[in-house]
Amino acid sequence: MSARTSLGSTPSRVRTSAPILRGYYAVLIALLYLPIAILVLFSLNANQVLAFPLQGFTLQWYSNALGTPTALTAARNSVVVAAGSSFVATLLATMVAILVARYSFRGKQLLLALSVLPLIVPYIVLAVALLLLFAALDVNRSLWTVGIAHTVIGLPYALLIIVARLGGVSPFLEEAAADLGADYLTTLRRIILPIIAPAIVAAWLVAFTASFDEFALALFLAGADPTLPVFIYGQLRFASRLPMLISLAAMVMVGTLTIVFIAERLRRRT
Protein backbone atom coordinates (compact mmCIF):
# COMPACT_ATOMS: atom_id res chain seq x y z
CA MET A 1 0.00 0.00 0.00
CA SER A 2 1.21 3.47 -0.76
CA ALA A 3 1.89 6.15 1.78
CA ARG A 4 -1.16 8.06 0.58
CA THR A 5 -3.48 5.30 1.67
CA SER A 6 -5.93 6.36 4.33
CA LEU A 7 -9.08 4.91 5.74
CA GLY A 8 -11.19 7.13 3.55
CA SER A 9 -9.43 6.37 0.29
CA THR A 10 -8.40 2.73 0.38
CA PRO A 11 -9.99 1.37 -2.79
CA SER A 12 -10.60 -2.16 -1.53
CA ARG A 13 -12.11 -0.86 1.69
CA VAL A 14 -14.45 1.53 -0.08
CA ARG A 15 -15.60 -1.19 -2.39
CA THR A 16 -16.36 -3.66 0.38
CA SER A 17 -17.72 -1.58 3.26
CA ALA A 18 -19.29 1.53 1.72
CA PRO A 19 -22.26 -0.19 0.00
CA ILE A 20 -22.94 -2.33 3.07
CA LEU A 21 -22.88 0.69 5.38
CA ARG A 22 -25.00 2.71 2.97
CA GLY A 23 -27.52 -0.12 2.78
CA TYR A 24 -27.56 -0.47 6.56
CA TYR A 25 -28.13 3.26 6.92
CA ALA A 26 -30.99 3.16 4.40
CA VAL A 27 -32.70 0.22 6.13
CA LEU A 28 -32.36 1.73 9.61
CA ILE A 29 -33.63 5.14 8.48
CA ALA A 30 -36.59 3.41 6.81
CA LEU A 31 -37.35 1.54 10.04
CA LEU A 32 -37.11 4.78 12.03
CA TYR A 33 -39.58 6.55 9.74
CA LEU A 34 -41.96 3.65 9.17
CA PRO A 35 -43.91 3.85 12.46
CA ILE A 36 -44.24 7.65 12.21
CA ALA A 37 -45.24 7.44 8.55
CA ILE A 38 -47.90 4.83 9.27
CA LEU A 39 -49.29 6.97 12.06
CA VAL A 40 -49.47 10.03 9.79
CA LEU A 41 -51.13 7.83 7.16
CA PHE A 42 -53.80 6.81 9.68
CA SER A 43 -54.35 10.46 10.60
CA LEU A 44 -55.41 11.04 6.98
CA ASN A 45 -57.53 7.87 6.84
CA ALA A 46 -61.33 8.01 7.03
CA ASN A 47 -61.57 5.34 9.71
CA GLN A 48 -61.72 5.74 13.44
CA VAL A 49 -59.91 2.43 13.93
CA LEU A 50 -56.21 2.48 13.14
CA ALA A 51 -56.05 -0.58 10.91
CA PHE A 52 -55.48 -1.58 7.33
CA PRO A 53 -57.00 -1.54 4.74
CA LEU A 54 -57.28 2.26 4.40
CA GLN A 55 -60.80 3.61 3.97
CA GLY A 56 -60.09 6.79 2.01
CA PHE A 57 -58.54 10.21 2.42
CA THR A 58 -59.88 12.75 4.92
CA LEU A 59 -58.76 15.89 6.74
CA GLN A 60 -61.56 15.40 9.24
CA TRP A 61 -59.22 14.51 12.15
CA TYR A 62 -57.16 17.62 11.59
CA SER A 63 -60.22 19.85 11.58
CA ASN A 64 -61.48 17.96 14.66
CA ALA A 65 -58.22 18.70 16.45
CA LEU A 66 -58.34 22.38 15.54
CA GLY A 67 -61.98 22.49 16.61
CA THR A 68 -61.36 21.04 20.08
CA PRO A 69 -61.00 23.97 22.52
CA THR A 70 -59.36 21.90 25.26
CA ALA A 71 -56.69 20.75 22.78
CA LEU A 72 -55.99 24.31 21.70
CA THR A 73 -55.81 25.49 25.32
CA ALA A 74 -53.35 22.70 26.10
CA ALA A 75 -51.26 23.67 23.08
CA ARG A 76 -51.29 27.30 24.22
CA ASN A 77 -50.28 26.21 27.74
CA SER A 78 -47.35 24.29 26.29
CA VAL A 79 -46.22 27.29 24.25
CA VAL A 80 -46.39 29.55 27.33
CA VAL A 81 -44.50 27.07 29.54
CA ALA A 82 -41.90 26.36 26.85
CA ALA A 83 -41.36 30.06 26.08
CA GLY A 84 -41.03 31.03 29.73
CA SER A 85 -38.91 28.12 30.89
CA SER A 86 -36.58 28.25 27.89
CA PHE A 87 -36.10 32.00 28.43
CA VAL A 88 -35.08 31.48 32.06
CA ALA A 89 -32.98 28.39 31.24
CA THR A 90 -31.09 30.24 28.50
CA LEU A 91 -30.57 33.32 30.67
CA LEU A 92 -29.13 31.21 33.51
CA ALA A 93 -27.10 29.10 31.07
CA THR A 94 -25.57 32.24 29.55
CA MET A 95 -24.54 33.42 33.01
CA VAL A 96 -23.00 30.06 33.88
CA ALA A 97 -21.29 29.88 30.48
CA ILE A 98 -19.63 33.29 30.97
CA LEU A 99 -18.55 32.30 34.49
CA VAL A 100 -17.15 29.00 33.27
CA ALA A 101 -15.31 30.46 30.30
CA ARG A 102 -14.19 33.80 31.72
CA TYR A 103 -13.82 33.57 35.47
CA SER A 104 -11.79 31.57 37.88
CA PHE A 105 -13.23 31.09 41.34
CA ARG A 106 -13.67 28.63 44.14
CA GLY A 107 -16.76 26.53 43.56
CA LYS A 108 -16.58 26.82 39.79
CA GLN A 109 -16.49 23.06 39.38
CA LEU A 110 -19.43 22.74 41.77
CA LEU A 111 -21.52 25.26 39.82
CA LEU A 112 -20.67 23.53 36.55
CA ALA A 113 -21.51 20.11 38.01
CA LEU A 114 -24.84 21.37 39.40
CA SER A 115 -25.73 22.87 36.03
CA VAL A 116 -24.99 19.69 34.07
CA LEU A 117 -26.16 17.14 36.65
CA PRO A 118 -29.87 17.32 35.66
CA LEU A 119 -28.76 15.45 32.50
CA ILE A 120 -27.96 12.34 34.52
CA VAL A 121 -30.74 12.39 37.11
CA PRO A 122 -33.63 10.14 36.01
CA TYR A 123 -36.64 12.37 35.31
CA ILE A 124 -38.90 10.52 37.71
CA VAL A 125 -36.52 11.29 40.57
CA LEU A 126 -36.49 14.98 39.64
CA ALA A 127 -40.27 14.93 39.26
CA VAL A 128 -40.76 13.39 42.70
CA ALA A 129 -38.20 15.76 44.24
CA LEU A 130 -39.92 18.86 42.88
CA LEU A 131 -43.31 17.49 43.88
CA LEU A 132 -42.02 17.26 47.47
CA LEU A 133 -40.51 20.75 47.28
CA PHE A 134 -43.73 22.36 46.09
CA ALA A 135 -45.71 20.45 48.70
CA ALA A 136 -43.27 21.68 51.37
CA LEU A 137 -43.57 25.27 50.15
CA ASP A 138 -47.36 24.85 49.96
CA VAL A 139 -47.32 25.80 46.28
CA ASN A 140 -50.21 24.42 44.25
CA ARG A 141 -49.31 22.54 41.10
CA SER A 142 -49.79 24.65 37.99
CA LEU A 143 -48.12 25.65 34.75
CA TRP A 144 -45.63 27.55 36.93
CA THR A 145 -44.41 24.39 38.64
CA VAL A 146 -44.05 22.63 35.28
CA GLY A 147 -42.16 25.64 33.93
CA ILE A 148 -39.74 25.66 36.87
CA ALA A 149 -39.01 21.96 36.35
CA HIS A 150 -38.37 22.63 32.67
CA THR A 151 -35.83 25.37 33.44
CA VAL A 152 -33.80 22.78 35.37
CA ILE A 153 -33.73 20.28 32.50
CA GLY A 154 -33.29 22.94 29.79
CA LEU A 155 -30.29 24.55 31.46
CA PRO A 156 -27.69 21.82 30.69
CA TYR A 157 -28.61 21.64 27.00
CA ALA A 158 -28.47 25.43 26.67
CA LEU A 159 -25.22 25.59 28.64
CA LEU A 160 -23.42 23.05 26.44
CA ILE A 161 -24.38 24.95 23.28
CA ILE A 162 -23.38 28.39 24.62
CA VAL A 163 -20.11 27.21 26.22
CA ALA A 164 -19.07 25.64 22.90
CA ARG A 165 -19.59 28.97 21.17
CA LEU A 166 -17.97 31.05 23.90
CA GLY A 167 -14.88 28.84 23.77
CA GLY A 168 -14.24 30.07 20.24
CA VAL A 169 -14.36 33.76 21.19
CA SER A 170 -10.94 35.30 21.81
CA PRO A 171 -10.58 36.73 25.33
CA PHE A 172 -8.48 39.50 23.82
CA LEU A 173 -11.59 41.13 22.40
CA GLU A 174 -12.60 41.87 25.98
CA GLU A 175 -9.18 43.22 26.74
CA ALA A 176 -9.37 45.49 23.73
CA ALA A 177 -12.76 46.74 24.89
CA ALA A 178 -11.38 47.38 28.38
CA ASP A 179 -8.40 49.22 26.91
CA LEU A 180 -10.82 51.45 25.06
CA GLY A 181 -12.49 52.29 28.36
CA ALA A 182 -15.49 49.97 28.46
CA ASP A 183 -16.43 48.57 31.84
CA TYR A 184 -16.99 44.83 32.03
CA LEU A 185 -20.78 44.91 31.89
CA THR A 186 -20.63 47.10 28.79
CA THR A 187 -18.09 44.72 27.28
CA LEU A 188 -20.43 41.80 27.91
CA ARG A 189 -23.41 43.65 26.51
CA ARG A 190 -21.77 45.23 23.49
CA ILE A 191 -19.06 42.71 22.54
CA ILE A 192 -19.62 39.23 23.96
CA LEU A 193 -23.40 38.89 23.77
CA PRO A 194 -23.64 40.00 20.11
CA ILE A 195 -20.91 37.51 19.17
CA ILE A 196 -22.54 34.57 20.93
CA ALA A 197 -26.09 35.67 20.02
CA PRO A 198 -26.62 32.88 17.45
CA ALA A 199 -25.67 30.27 20.05
CA ILE A 200 -27.99 31.90 22.60
CA VAL A 201 -30.90 31.79 20.14
CA ALA A 202 -30.07 28.19 19.22
CA ALA A 203 -29.89 27.27 22.93
CA TRP A 204 -33.21 28.99 23.54
CA LEU A 205 -34.87 27.05 20.71
CA VAL A 206 -33.43 23.73 21.90
CA ALA A 207 -34.63 24.42 25.44
CA PHE A 208 -38.00 25.42 23.98
CA THR A 209 -38.48 22.14 22.10
CA ALA A 210 -37.19 20.11 25.08
CA SER A 211 -39.85 21.73 27.27
CA PHE A 212 -42.59 21.60 24.67
CA ASP A 213 -42.29 17.82 24.26
CA GLU A 214 -41.57 16.99 27.91
CA PHE A 215 -44.04 14.64 29.57
CA ALA A 216 -42.49 12.69 32.47
CA LEU A 217 -42.08 15.79 34.67
CA ALA A 218 -45.22 17.54 33.46
CA LEU A 219 -47.46 14.61 34.39
CA PHE A 220 -46.32 14.93 38.03
CA LEU A 221 -46.27 18.71 38.26
CA ALA A 222 -49.15 19.96 36.10
CA GLY A 223 -52.27 20.97 37.99
CA ALA A 224 -55.70 21.33 36.47
CA ASP A 225 -54.22 23.09 33.44
CA PRO A 226 -52.54 20.45 31.26
CA THR A 227 -49.67 20.94 28.84
CA LEU A 228 -50.12 19.39 25.41
CA PRO A 229 -48.40 16.04 26.13
CA VAL A 230 -50.36 15.71 29.39
CA PHE A 231 -53.58 16.49 27.52
CA ILE A 232 -52.78 13.93 24.80
CA TYR A 233 -51.93 11.32 27.42
CA GLY A 234 -55.18 11.95 29.26
CA GLN A 235 -57.19 11.50 26.05
CA LEU A 236 -55.41 8.30 25.01
CA ARG A 237 -57.85 6.15 26.98
CA PHE A 238 -60.63 7.14 24.55
CA ALA A 239 -59.89 4.94 21.54
CA SER A 240 -62.22 6.95 19.30
CA ARG A 241 -60.13 10.11 19.78
CA LEU A 242 -56.88 8.45 18.72
CA PRO A 243 -56.92 9.70 15.09
CA MET A 244 -57.61 13.26 16.30
CA LEU A 245 -54.74 13.03 18.82
CA ILE A 246 -52.38 11.73 16.17
CA SER A 247 -53.25 14.58 13.82
CA LEU A 248 -52.61 16.97 16.71
CA ALA A 249 -49.21 15.37 17.35
CA ALA A 250 -48.42 15.45 13.62
CA MET A 251 -49.09 19.19 13.47
CA VAL A 252 -46.88 19.68 16.52
CA MET A 253 -44.18 17.61 14.83
CA VAL A 254 -44.16 19.94 11.82
CA GLY A 255 -43.93 22.95 14.15
CA THR A 256 -41.11 21.42 16.20
CA LEU A 257 -39.12 20.47 13.11
CA THR A 258 -39.40 24.03 11.82
CA ILE A 259 -38.02 25.36 15.10
CA VAL A 260 -35.21 22.78 15.17
CA PHE A 261 -34.32 23.58 11.58
CA ILE A 262 -33.99 27.29 12.44
CA ALA A 263 -31.95 26.45 15.56
CA GLU A 264 -29.58 24.29 13.56
CA ARG A 265 -29.08 27.00 10.93
CA LEU A 266 -28.27 29.52 13.66
CA ARG A 267 -25.90 27.18 15.48
CA ARG A 268 -23.89 26.53 12.36
CA ARG A 269 -23.63 30.17 11.34
CA THR A 270 -20.30 31.59 12.38
Partner 1 sequence: MPGLRCGSTSKPRSARAQPLVTTPTPVARRTGPGAFRTGAGSRPLRLRLDRNTTFWGLVVPPAVWLALFFLAPLLLIAVISLRPDLRGGVLASFAPTIDQYRTLLEKPTYLRLFGTSVGMALTVAAAATLLAFPIAYFLAFRAGRHAGLFLALLLIPFWTSFLLRVMAWKVMLGSNGVINSFLLSTGLAREPVEFLLYNRFAVIITLVYVWIPFVALPILAGLHRIDPSLFEAAADLGSTPVQRFWRVVLPLSLPGVIAGFFMCFIPTVGEYVTPLLVGGSAGSMYGNLVQDFFTKAANWPLGAAMSLVMLLGTLAFVAIALRLINPRQFAA
Contacts with partner 1 by CB under 8 A: the residue count is: 105
- The minimum distance between CB 67 and partner 1, in angstroms, equals 20
- The minimum distance between CB 183 and partner 1, in angstroms, equals 5
CA 146 to chain centre: 15
Interactions with partner 1, residue window 160-219 (CB under 8 A): 170-172, 174-176, 178-179, 183-185, 188, 209, 213, 215-216, 219
- Please choose, out of 56-64, 68-76, 120-128, 194-202, the segment that lies near partner 1 by the rule CB under 8 A: 120-128
- Number of neighbouring beta carbons within 10 Å of residue 266: 18
The mark string for 16-55 relative to partner 1 (x by CB under 8 A, - otherwise) is xxx--xx-xx--xx-xxx-xx-xx--x------xxxx---
Comparing CB distances to partner 1, the nearer of 46 and 135 is 135
Q: Quick check: 83 binds partner 1 (CB under 8 A)? A: no
- Residue 214 DSSP symbol: -
Rounded to whole angstroms, how far apart are CA atoms 214 and 212? Answer: 6
Q: Does the N-terminal peptide bond of residue 243 adopt cis geometry, omega within 30 degrees of 0? A: no
Rounded to whole angstroms, how far apart are CA atoms 235 and 73? Answer: 14
The mark string for 219-238 relative to partner 1 (x by CB under 8 A, - otherwise) is xx--------x--xx--x--
Interactions with partner 1, residue window 125-154 (CB under 8 A): 125-126, 128-133, 135-136, 148-149, 151-152
Q: Quick check: 122 binds partner 1 (CB under 8 A)? A: yes
Backbone angles phi, psi at 165, to 5 degrees: -70, -45
Label residues 226-261 b or e (16+ Cβ within 10 Å = b). Answer: bbbbbbbeebeeeeebbbbbbbbbbebeeebeebee
